[in-house]
Amino acid sequence: MTTIERLETRTQRVRLTRPWGPSHAAPGKWVAEPVEASGPSTGSETQYPGAVDSVTVIATRVTRSDGAQGFGFSWTPQIGASAVQALLDDDIAPAAIGRSATPGEAWDDIWAHLHEAGGGGITTIALAGLDLALWDAEARAASASVSQIIGRRRESARAYGSGVNLHYSQDELVAQVRRWVDAGFDAVKIKVGKPDVAEDLDRLAAVRDVLGPDRALMIDANQRWTLDRATDAVNALAVHDLAWIEEPLRADDLAGHAELARRIEVPIAVGENLHTRHRFEDFLHAGAAQIVQPNVIRVGGITPFLRIAAAAADLGAAVHPHLLPELSGQLALTLPGDPWTEDVEDAGFATLGALADPSPVTIADGRLTENAHAGLGIRFTAFERDDS
């Protein structure tokens, strides 16, 4: 049996060229967009914390007992990177060494080992760093890409333009949507949640005017609304022919999402802030979501991501991976159905100069295709600087 011999980590901060949130906001806070205040809510109060101007990658390198190496990463916007790295170094690495290096075989045992620190969140974000490196090592050893060893179902996947743009003026928002249309996207997603829904209506009308009737339009409320406010807002905004409403309520409000699904006709999408297969299944069984958007890092890597996708397929839900197109786009090529890949403007790792190699994917004319590479094709410069 090939086993895990070593797990190493390095951190790498990646500065965003287009900050996620208003540039005038106070620094040092994580939340990118307005969220409802904590505690009892009247449905009207909104907070505008600081912008996210960087993300931090915890790059990982696994060495197997047969000498093969694999590269992976954990990821977090602006906060928590030191906690993730400490969990990898202090708890995951000692638990992993000597275990099977076959992707997925050690995942459940290590997740159980970490459970005292939480079943999801920091623990699954950290566990992704090991899981991705093991998948990368397996594919590199086979001189194949990860999508090939999983089983590629298609040669390209639909991509959509996305941005953190609630703080944009209407003119800036319209200009962004025009860039997406000019780039060939036939679907786009924008943020909603202005204090007055009339302003959201005006912005969506302007966006729909640019898109025309045949391109898909999705909206993302980033957990800003109460149940009653979400009901009113979505029913008002639905006049613009919405493909989905994303995170209308607090992400862990299962009962609220289930009730909202009964009140509106627009499909509900959730998942970027759900961390385990079990929580995804809770939402699906409750009818609280028709679309799931697992973030491959936040759920713990490729192993649980594929399990979540399989559960969604069994229950008739669509799967559209959240963020990280250079990784999630490769996985989209292996999924059943018609998975869409999210391409946030100016946020790709290759675009930001964070990778040691060319991007493993290309997005053009609204489609994502895979470039020739071994493994994940995602090696961060952190190890190159360290090893030079």
Active-site residue set: 191, 322
Tokens of 59: 């790059």
Q: Are 204 and 185 in contact (CB under 8 A)?
A: no
For residue 277, count CB atoms less than 10 angstroms from its CB and return exposed for 0-12, middle for 13-18, buried for 19 or more. Answer: buried
C-alpha 148 chain-centroid distance: 22
Whole-number Å distance between alpha carbons of 46 and 43: 9
Tokens of 224: 């800003």
Which are the contacts of 313, defined by CB distance < 8 A and separation ≥ 6? Answer: 319, 335, 336, 337
Whole-number Å distance between alpha carbons of 243 and 217: 6
Strand, helix or coil at 141? Answer: helix
Strand, helix or coil at 5? Answer: strand
Tokens of 205: 């009308």
Q: Are 345 and 18 in contact (CB under 8 A)?
A: yes
- Residue 354, φ and ψ in degrees, nearest 5: -90, -10
